[in-house]
Structures are given as structure tokens and as C-alpha cells.
Structure 1
Amino acid sequence: MKKYLLSFALACMSLTAFAQTDYEKIMTEKIAKIETCKTPEDFQTLANDFERIGSKESSQWLPPYYAAFSQIQKGRVMMRNGNMQELDGVASQAEKFLGLAQSLAGADNAEIHLLKKMANSLRMMVNPAQRFMTDGARASEELNIAEKLDAANPRIALIKAEDIYFTPEQYGGSKTKGLELFKEALVKYNNYKLKTALDPNWGRSEAEYFISLPVEKTK
């Protein structure tokens, strides 16, 4: 009887390990696709994929996190294309996934607070003049929370660099200071240690891109 129970326990452990390996494999494949997505449709498809993974792996916070990130990236592409009117809906979808991720990971997760900052920034861009004191303020608050939780996080430095770089000088922006912050972000990328291979690790290529720009293009 003891031999049977031991065999059963070992079989259960093997199945659990196989399931975990399968989860890690598909997550690794989907995360890699973030770098190759170009259009809003690409990012929407990826968000759907992460949502499906999350429905099967309901105890894991990373699938809804990446679903939210895919939605935010979709919104950022739309913003660059001048399609501002649909950003509220995109931000709402991102926030839905972030609420789920936070319920699984806890309130002290800097990566989640950073994406909340980015979602609020998307909302603000629908009408910056009217929403700066509401969505803009919430974005700043979420960024401050993220930085307090994990000051060494390179993605926090990256988003701060973006904000300074793209804000007009009359509103406190500075391309020169933005570039300095991109350089700081790259240093942090080089020193930051991930807890797992699936943890957020996006943004390095953006920092490298801005640092590589000729001086005349940054003025």
C-alpha cells in the first residue's frame, strides 16, 4: 500500500512539473512576440493569447500582467498614429487585467504600478489639457509608488526618461535631461537581476535606441 501511495505521489509530482514546464514554454514564446508586434491588431491578438493562458493558470499574475502590457502597447501605437479617441477603451482593458494581476501578486508589485501609470497616461492623452489634473495626477502617483517599491527598476527609469524627453520644454520637458535618464535606465538594465526568466524585462532596446541617436536628432 505504501509503495502504491509513493508511486501515486511521484506521478502527481511529475504531472505538476510537466504542466509548469509547459506553462513556462508557452509564456516564453508569447513574451518573445512582444518585440515583433507592430500594429494594434498584433498587440490585441497577443493580449488575447495571454488572457487565454491566464484563464488556465489562474494562480499566476504574469499572464494578466502581460495582457495589460499588450493592451498598453496597442494604445501607444494608436497614439503615435493619431488615433486618440479609442484610448479610453484600451486603458480600461489594461486596467481590468492589472486589477486581476494585482489581486494575485499583491499591492506591493512595482511592475504593476508602473503599468497603471502607463494606462493613466494613455487616458490623459485623449485630452491632455483637460485631463492633466486627473489622469495625469494619477499617473504621477502610480509612478511614485512604483519607484518607492523598486527604485533600481530600469523600466521606471525608462518611463521617466520618456516623459521628460517628449514633454515640450515650456511644460518642463527636456530632451537633454531625457537622454541622461535613458542612459541611467541602461545602466540599471545592466545591473538589474530578474527573479524568474518570465519576469518583465522589456524596454532595453528603447533606451539603447535613444542613446544611439545623433546629437542633431535629439535637439
Structure 2
Amino acid sequence: MKTVLMILMLVAGSAAAQSKYEAAVLKGKDLLKAADDQEAYMGCANYFERIAQKESKEWLPLYYHSLSLTLWGTRETNPDTKEKVLNDALALVQKAKKIEKNSELAALEGFVQMMRLTVDPATRGQTLSPTIYALFGEAIALDPENPRAVLLMGQMEFGTAQFFGSGFEKACGYIQRAYDIFERTPDELTTLPTWGKGMAEASLAHCNQ
């Protein structure tokens, strides 16, 4: 009887700890969704860094820490600061991939590399483009219904088409597909990544111009 009670207490304690962790991640997701400038993204990065330090076996805090820095990088105008922020983001997502390999992490790593390319497109285009396409391809292969992977592939194709002055049909096909996946994905409370629908809508608007 004592053994059964001890097991039940351990299970209850583990569930409570997991609930605190999940609540912390959900709070961070809300902070990240509301962020709209570098300072706010920095705050999100610091928040998820603290969670990652406590939950060293979990990949999601590292994922959101990296995502916070990447989104900061999209707003940063100082090339040196942007480079540092994105390099930190890359190190974090690669650390997370040592814990688990999945579609979301592959897509995020591709996103980070895509933003690193924008720091110096003329120099980095040839070297980074194959890596970025490979990462997005890996993400889609791991989960064809991951709208973030499909959307980011579409954005990469769009940028490539702009650079070479070619058509946007392929890019917009990916973007439309990503939007459709977002549309049929039910809203639910989850610690897993759900971001990107607004980005898909904005990208689709460019396709429809």
C-alpha cells in the first residue's frame, strides 16, 4: 500500500511540475505573439532563456528563445547587431536539435539561415541558399502539413524569384498551400509552435497583387 501511495505521489508531483512548465511556455508564447519591436523580442528571448536553463532536456524553450532572436533580427537595422543576434539564434536551434530532431526545428534553422543571408545577400547567396533549401526540404519531408515549413519555403522561393527576375508561380504555390493548412488547422491551446498565419496572409497578399 505504501508503495502504491509513493508511486501516486511521484506521478502527481511530476504532473504538477509539467503543468508549471507548460504554463510558463504558454505565457511566453503570448508574450512573443504580442511583441512588435526589438526590445519586446529581447524580453521574450530572456524569458525563454530562463526556462531553458531550468528545463535543459526540453527542446521547446530553446526553440522559442531562438525564434525570439530571429524575429528580433527581422527588425534589426544595424548589420553588426543583426549578425550577432542571428548567430546566437542559430546556436540555440542547433543545440535544440541535439535534444530532438523534428520538422519545426529544421524549419526554424532554415528561417535563421535565411535571415543571415539577408545581412549580406551578394556574398552569402551562393553559399547559404543550398543550405536553406535543404533545411526547408527536410522540414517538409518530416511533416508535409507543417505550415511554417511550407510558408518559409515559399518565402525563400519568392526572394529567389525577385533576385533573378523570374516568375512567382512556384513561390506563391507554396504560400497558398501554407495558408490553406493554417485555415484548416483548429485553434488549440498547445505549447507547440502555432505562429505564422499572419505572415502567410501578408505573403499571400503580395502574390495576389
Is TM-score (shorter-chain normalized) higher than 0.5?
Answer: yes
CA spacing shift, 1:84–1:168, aligned 2, 3 Å:
farther
Return closer, same or farther for 1:178/1:93 CA change in 2, 3 Å cut-off.
Answer: same
**More displaced 10-residue stretch of structure 1: 46-55 or 159-168:** 159-168
Equivalent position amino acid for 1:134 in 2: T
- Structure 1: any 5+ residue segments left out of the alignment? none
Question: Which residue of 2 is the match for residue 123 of structure 1?
Answer: 116
Q: TM-score, normalised by structure 1?
A: 0.83
Work out which of the two has the higher radius of gyration on C-alpha atoms and give 1 or 2.
1
Q: Is the 8 A contact 1:163 1:173 kept in 2?
A: no
Structure 1 counterpart of 2:148, from 151, 155, 159 = 155
Q: For 2:131 and 2:96, how far apart are their aligned partners in 1?
A: 19
> Which residue pairs with 2:70 in the alignment?
72
Residue identity opposite 1:186 in structure 2 = Y
Tell me which amino acid in the other structure corresponds to 1:27: V
Q: Please, what TM-score do these two structures have when normalized by structure 2? A: 0.87
Over the residues paired in the alignment, what is the CA RMSD in angstroms? Answer: 2.6
Aligned twin of 1:204: 197
Residue 25 (structure 2) aligns with: 27
Closer/same/farther in 2, CA of residues 173 and 69 from structure 1, 3 Å limit: farther
Equivalent residue for 1:86, pick from 77, 81, 89: 81
Measured in 1, the distance between the counterparts of 2:180 and 2:146 equals 10
Q: Give yes or no for the alignment of 1:184 onto 2:182.
A: no
Does residue 96 in structure 1 map to residue 94 in structure 2? no
Q: Is the 8 A contact 1:154 1:188 kept in 2?
A: yes
| Greater mean alpha carbon deviation, residues 62-71 or residues 188-197 | 188-197
Q: Is the 8 A contact 1:98 1:116 kept in 2?
A: yes
For 1:51 and 1:45, the matched residues in 2 are separated by 10
CA deviation after TM superposition for structure 1 residue 151, in Å: 2.1
d(CA) in 2 for partners of 1:214 and 1:186? 12
Structure 2: which 5+ residue stretches go unaligned?
A: none
| Residues 103 and 194 (structure 1), Cα distance of their counterparts in 2 relative to 1, 3 Å cut | farther
Counterpart pick for 2:131 among 134, 138, 152: 138
Structure 1's consecutive aligned runs of 4 or more residues displaced over 6 angstroms after TM superposition are 193-196
Count of paired positions:
209
Residue from 41, 56, 80 that aligns with 2:54 = 56
Residue 12 of structure 1 pairs with residue 10 of structure 2: yes
Q: Write the deviation string for residues 116-138 of structure 1: whole angstroms up to 9, x where unpaired.
A: 11111222112111111212232
CA shift at 1:163, angstroms? 2.5
For 2:30 and 2:194, the matched residues in 1 are separated by: 10
For residue 85 of structure 1, give the secondary structure of its aligned residue in structure 2.
helix
